[in-house]
Structure 1
Amino acid sequence: MTVVADSTSDSESESENETKNVTSEFGVEYTVRFDSERNKLHIYSSNPKDGYRNEGFKIKVDGYMNTYESLNLSANETWSDSFNITRNIDVQRDEHTVRFYPTGEETIEFNFTRDIDPSNTSEVPAPRITSVEVANGTPYGRETSVVRVTVENPAEQLYGTKLMVHTLETDHNRRADATAPPGGETTVQVPIEEPQGAMVAGEVRLYDNNLSDTDHGFDQREFVGEADGDTQVMNRTYEPARDPYGKKPGYVYENESMEAVVEDANESEPTPMEHVITGVGVLVFVLAVWWYRR
């Protein structure tokens, strides 16, 4: 296999347009041009040999498969196509690699640098929280409120994401299995300390490994709601939080306006003792009517 790097034109920097020429194991010639500004790999191939050449190539971006293509080229036939790599770029890296694998043992490689904020990227897709809902649940056989969170991963890259939930009554609760597959979604249920039917306010953070590092944060939502009712969800910029498993005290969720909403809602609901008192009053009234009519 022969690999030759072409210089770029004066109007194009090497980092934006870099071209390499490759001859595969079976004699097919490739010219591969990487346009890092547009996140595209342009492939031009030709068969200068007599007879057909059946082979293929693949493209990997930051270690994840982008494309596998099979070619069947007759003598002197040419072929070309372009491939967008945006969905494969790993938003948690600064140094990125695009590898082109023609038939044979060696590869050609393009490297570029891009600092991406995982929680604030419109160009490169990254995992996101798409739904938060307060519901009733019985995790581990215990009746309590739960927070159902849906995570979507629109990227063609796998991220091992976790969820951390803080509420007014819950110091923290983590779910480590909140990983959505590439191009898919997952919904997880996070138990909290609030009783079933209570009004709940809190925050949900989607992150990878380090809760207290902005570079590991993907998304954050604040919410308030109750089971069998609406849950209001607000988009928030990811804010690092102290890890509850460290030596220092962990992050505590506080929001005075949310506290007022929750207190008003929960005070308007009869407590279990109020239900008992009401039931006793009804029973006394029924007995009094029965005694009067004897």
Structure 2
Amino acid sequence: MIGRKVVLLLIVTGAVLAITSTNSCASTGEGNRTVNDPAGVVYTLDFRTTNNTLLVKAVNKDQSHKRSGYNVVVDNRRVYNSNIRLDQNESHTQKISITSGLNVNQVNHTVTFATYGNSTQFNFTRHINSTNPDVVPRPHIANVEVTNGRVKGEPSAVAKVTLVNPSDQIYSTKLFVHTVDTDGSLYPASVRPGDTRTITVELLDERGSKIAGEARLYTGNLTTKEGAMDQVEFAGQAGEDTQVWNTSYEPVRPTWMSNNYQYHNDSYARSFGEKISGGHEVGDVPLAYVGLAFVVGFTAFRKLR
């Protein structure tokens, strides 16, 4: 009767496993461990930090078929879950990569393996370069599109910034955008694991003008590299393709601080005439220059007379 209750409990709980348990134990660094499921399944674990893998081998040494299950949690985010059914002497093997669950902002990392009524942990230390996507997946800027839009009901130049989070972690990321005429636009920019998000950023540049700027994605302080995620530079115009390229992350002082950072791009900086023309042109020539030419020409004509 007791055996039937145990089997029934396993079926009902399904994929829900308790991480904390009085039978849990911890180990430091990589190595081998054995974890016993009270139902009779024996798990052998081989964790390697050199390639970020956990090899799981489960064996049913009992005389009847068994149902079991386990999950793997990395830095408090689940990266793998499995329910298995094993006949007598049947085994199950699975190699699990923990890379997607590593938190790039942490130095101390924990990998937890949990089965019904038992668990174990592997703890190790590693500093991760948060701006290098080839090391550990992290949120990054996938694209920027310069276009025209509306902000709070008013027409405005905007940049549509697309963010991607290929990891299993969730970060409290922020997006900061500078352009030639925009000292800084700040937006909360968290992206769910495995998801994509596009944020419409208000720009103070003239609608329809050629616009260049930078976009930074980070989790900490804008003035330091700690918590930095990604930085790109972009240049484009509404109705045309926007060029986007990666640049090394550079900490800057935000708008609300003295001596704040200002983005400069000589190729896209507006001349004095363009600024006072308010974006109005005649035959691709700023209106102010057309007016000035008219005044100069009229004055010269009067002198000739």
Partner SS, residue 117 of structure 1: coil
Cα separation, partners in 2 of 1:264 and 1:38, compared to 1, 3 Å: farther
Residue type of the alignment partner of 2:215: V
2:60·2:66 contact (CA, 8 Å) conserved in 1? yes
Q: Distance in 1 between matches of 2:226 and 2:149?
A: 33
| Shift in Å, 1:195 | 2.2
Q: Which residue of 2 aligns with 1:169?
A: 181
| Shift in Å, 1:179 | 2.3
Q: Distance in 1 between matches of 2:143 and 2:260?
A: 25
1:199·1:265 contact (CA, 8 Å) conserved in 2? no
Show structure 2 runs of 5+ residues with no match: 1-21, 292-305
Matches within 5 A, 1:102-113: 102-104=115-117, 106-113=118-125
1:3·1:22 contact (CA, 8 Å) conserved in 2? no
Decide which of 166, 170, 175 is 1:154's aligned counterpart. Answer: 166
Decide which of 202, 209, 229 is 1:218's aligned counterpart. Answer: 229
Q: Which residue of 2 aligns with 1:255?
A: 265
Q: Which residue of 2 aligns with 1:207?
A: 218
2:218·2:229 contact (CA, 8 Å) conserved in 1? yes
Residue type of the alignment partner of 1:89: L
Q: Which residue of 2 aligns with 1:191?
A: 202
1:3·1:20 contact (CA, 8 Å) conserved in 2? no
| Shift in Å, 1:193 | 0.8
Q: How many residues align?
A: 264
Partner SS, residue 34 of structure 1: strand
Matched, 1:134 2:121: no
Decide which of 255, 260, 266 is 1:244's aligned counterpart. Answer: 255
| Shift in Å, 1:219 | 0.8
Q: Distance in 2 between matches of 1:217 and 1:153?
A: 14
1:2·1:22 contact (CA, 8 Å) conserved in 2? no
Q: What TM-score results when the alignment is normalised by the length of structure 2?
A: 0.78
What is the RMSD computed on CA atoms of the aligned residues?
Answer: 2.8
Matched, 1:119 2:119: no
Matched, 1:73 2:116: no
2:178·2:215 contact (CA, 8 Å) conserved in 1? yes
Decide which of 33, 40, 51 is 1:20's aligned counterpart. Answer: 33
| Shift in Å, 1:5 | 8.4
Q: Distance in 2 between matches of 1:78 and 1:143?
A: 64
Q: Distance in 2 between matches of 1:81 and 1:112?
A: 22
The one-character-per-residue Cα deviations of 1:193-250 (angstroms, maximum 9, x if unpaired) are: 112112212111011132122121111111222111232222111111113345x343
Q: Distance in 2 between matches of 1:231 and 1:152?
A: 18
- Range with bigger deviation, 154-163 or 186-195: 154-163
The one-character-per-residue Cα deviations of 1:7-66 (angstroms, maximum 9, x if unpaired) are: xxxxxxx84x41111112222211111011111101111122221221211111111111
Show structure 1 runs of 5+ residues with no match: 7-13, 279-294
Q: Identity over aligned residues, as a percent?
A: 34
Partner SS, residue 256 of structure 1: coil
Matches within 5 A, 1:31-46: 31-46=44-59
1:4·1:22 contact (CA, 8 Å) conserved in 2? no
| Shift in Å, 1:251 | 2.0
Q: Distance in 2 between matches of 1:124 and 1:265?
A: 48
Partner SS, residue 183 of structure 2: coil
2:26·2:122 contact (CA, 8 Å) conserved in 1? no
Cα separation, partners in 2 of 1:251 and 1:4, compared to 1, 3 Å: closer
Q: Distance in 1 between matches of 2:26 and 2:239?
A: 63
